[in-house]
Amino acid sequence: MAKQNRRQFVGTSAALLGAAGMRLPLWAQLAANGSSPGLPVLLGVDYYPDQTPESLWEEDARKISEAGLTNVRIAEFAWALMEPAEGRFDFAWLQRAVDILHRNNIAVILGTPSAAPPPWLTEKYPEVVEVNEKGEKLHPGGRRFTCPTNATYRRLSLVIATEMANRFRAHPGVVGWQIDNEFTLGSSPRCYCNYCRAGFQAWLRTKYGTLDKVNQIWGTNFWSQHYSDWAQIPVPLPSGGDPNPGLALDYGRYQSFANASSLGEQLAMLRKLCPKHFVTTNNIGVPYDQIDMRELYAKLDFVAFDNYPGFFEMILREQGQSGPQLSQGISSMIAMQHDFGRSILRKPFLIMEEQSGKAGQRTFSPQPAKGQVRLWSYQAIAHGAMGVNYFRWDTATFGAEEYWHGMLNHDRSKSPAFDEMLQTVKELKSLGPDFLRSEYEADVAVYFDYDCSWAVKIQPGHNKLTYAEQVTTWYGAASPSHTGVDLIGPGSDLTRYKIVFAPVVYVLSEAQAEKIRQYVRGGGIFVTNFRLGVKTESSQIIKQPLPGYLADVMGVTLEDYVPVYAQNPHVKFGETLGGAEVECGIWADILKPSTAEVLATYSSGQHSGKAAITANTFGKGKAVYVGADLHAPDLFRVLGTFAASAGVKRPIDVPMGVELTVRQSGSKRWMFVLNHNGEAQTINLPGTFKDAVSGESHSGATQIPAYGVLVLTT
């Protein structure tokens, strides 16, 4: 039912967007035959009529329309204006804003406002305010300071969302919904209040059934933690010693569930009241979220998230990076989020907030260089986005984000990126229906598992070991192959990939191990590293020799696992890996091969001569164990060697900091050559290609300007 009706949305929005000057054939066709994905390309801005004098709305709508934009997202922080007192609703202003936008052929995505409650709410119901990991109650005044479990807050969130839905369900200008905004993105991503404690106890009762099971699985005989009543079970607040790791991991899962089920209440209502509208939410993306995005988006129509590459630049510069290495790092961090967004539902995704200027609250990211906003838009589309919403239209002159710059400056003059946005929108519309039908294909997968992420955070083993950094580094090592990369998880089908890279698989269930076993047996190449299979999904240490369930597949057992603090051992690569001698970083798994071949050995320290990297032929495939923590360039070499052996071939050689991403439809390919460097670069093309944007032909040595884009077709 909902599916049929969402198809009808395509028809509606095609008319809308058509009126806005978009090209129609693909959408019209999709609407006619109902073939998925059934969603159009959206090019919009995040817009705040609630923060803008009404006298400017008409002018804004006209200019947004004249810019060629098709849609806006509005109202996600406007609760206080929509419900000025409990049960008293005022949508007249929003109606006027939506009417004006609609008259100007701008489709509207409405945001439900539960990320920031009004003061009357917290004054009347102070119990809805979140408690942080130190047990301190937060204070109203910012945003994201409410409890995800609290029934009162969830009820009031649902009430305002329902009132919005009733008011706008039939408005022809509204095409879809964003529920809430940036779940868990606050000073305390998780809540530790008494409501969450009771919610956790109820969730455990559903999950485990009996207290005996909870006691057994968590091992509560340790430190006298045996629970004789569900009500005794605590949340992981400061308690004189670290919490039980099983309890702590389950608490992370519970908090994710609490947020996702809170979203689920609004979703069920919207499906009922607004069956013609799409529904999504917006988050900051992997690996920074403290919420399982796979769980959160499971029942939504598509994935949407933020893209603020300026923050990546700040992080990488603080790590001392510069030049092409920095450009490559930024490109890779953006690409990883896009690849995750696409991989969650295996569908086109939307950038709900795309950086368009300096961004930040107290401090600001760098101003995007000339060309970067266009470059990032193309990068999103290359990785499978169906659209980009630039954040934001105008720049606020008040509030905590008054320096979060938009398309208009504080004085409403054009921002430095304004004309670039105009150009980009025009260009993207010209790519045509064939292109819109094309898909991003991946030969390579990087494995990302929230259980591993949370469990490593609970017990990193070494204060410098973070799962996010490991995954980012491994993704960064895989991406220069310039063949597609999916970011997959425990539920994913491995068999579609030539090679799977899986760093720090610290938590591994027997079922997941079996999936990996079958993948390798059938011919897959599985490459992993230290801390493999240490814990079961219950967070108990595996009772078998490490790597536990996968010992047969990897063809090794561990002699020891060693956090490294000083005198980093050296690792001597064998011939297959090029023969260099490199340094081991913060961790060394000491491998004892049973059937595996040794590809590198520790060459200094007390484990000198022992195996550091092994490869095991298992069935028709291969399982590679990288026991030593390698610095990024050495890891790149090792992973590159195995990617090549798996038959993963880069389409064209490109310089560092230049990204190559391919979309294809049948035999037709669109090669996006994206120069993330601040200097022009030269690539050598093996043949003649036509640039789908400029229409120019290129062959042989071809220059691509600083932050330039080529979309090459044959």
Query: Which residues contact Zn ion by CB under 5 A?
Result: 147, 149, 191, 193, 195-196
Residues 6+ apart with CB under 8 A from 624: 525, 526, 527, 528, 599, 613, 614, 615, 616, 642
Considering Cα of 324, then 327, then 333, then 337, what sign does the dihedral take? negative
Q: How far is the CB of 203 from Zn ion (least distance, A)?
A: 13
Comparison of 145 and 418: residue with beta carbon closer to Zn ion: 145
Q: What are the residues facing 556 on neighbouring strands?
A: 593
Comparison of 131 and 551: residue with beta carbon closer to Zn ion: 131
Comparison of 151 and 268: residue with beta carbon closer to Zn ion: 151
Q: How far is the CB of 149 from Zn ion (least distance, A)?
A: 5
Comparison of 132 and 149: residue with beta carbon closer to Zn ion: 149
Which of 513, 450, 498 is CA-nearest to residue 645?
Answer: 498
Comparison of 191 and 662: residue with beta carbon closer to Zn ion: 191
Q: How far is the CB of 191 from Zn ion (least distance, A)?
A: 3
Which three-class secondary structure string do you get for 431-444?
CHHHHHHCEECEEE
Q: How far is the CB of 295 from Zn ion (least distance, A)?
A: 18
DSSP assignment, residue 366? P
Structure tokens at 706: 């600083």
Q: How far is the CB of 196 from Zn ion (least distance, A)?
A: 3
The torsion angle over the Cα atoms of residues 488, 493, 498 and 503, rounded to 10 degrees, is 40
Q: In terms of residues, how long is the chain?
A: 714
3-state secondary structure of 187: coil
556-563 and 570-573 strand pairing? unpaired
What's the rounded Cα separation, in Å, for the pair 17 and 328? 36
Contact 40, 14 (CB under 8 A): yes
Comparison of 188 and 409: residue with beta carbon closer to Zn ion: 188
Q: How far is the CB of 199 from Zn ion (least distance, A)?
A: 7
Which of 145, 247, 242 is CA-nearest to residue 188?
Answer: 145
Comparison of 141 and 320: residue with beta carbon closer to Zn ion: 141
What's the rounded Cα separation, in Å, for the pair 173 and 15? 11
Structure tokens at 372: 């970067």
For residue 546, how many C-alpha atoms fall within 13 Å in the half-sphere facing its CB?
22
Q: How far is the CB of 527 from Zn ion (least distance, A)?
A: 40
What's the rounded Cα separation, in Å, for the pair 514 and 313? 40
H or E element, residue 593: strand 581-593
Residues 6+ apart with CB under 8 A from 552: 517, 618
Q: How far is the CB of 131 from Zn ion (least distance, A)?
A: 6
Comparison of 117 and 368: residue with beta carbon closer to Zn ion: 117
What's the rounded Cα separation, in Å, for the pair 630 and 624? 14
Q: How far is the CB of 294 from Zn ion (least distance, A)?
A: 23
Q: How far is the CB of 258 from Zn ion (least distance, A)?
A: 8
- List strand residue ranges (DSSP E) for 230-296, in order: 278-283
Q: How far is the CB of 312 from Zn ion (least distance, A)?
A: 31
Comparison of 73 and 190: residue with beta carbon closer to Zn ion: 190
What's the rounded Cα separation, in Å, for the pair 535 and 509? 8
What's the rounded Cα separation, in Å, for the pair 389 and 400? 21
Comparison of 235 and 455: residue with beta carbon closer to Zn ion: 235
Comparison of 129 and 267: residue with beta carbon closer to Zn ion: 129
For residue 53, how many C-alpha atoms fall within 13 Å in the half-sphere facing its CB?
5
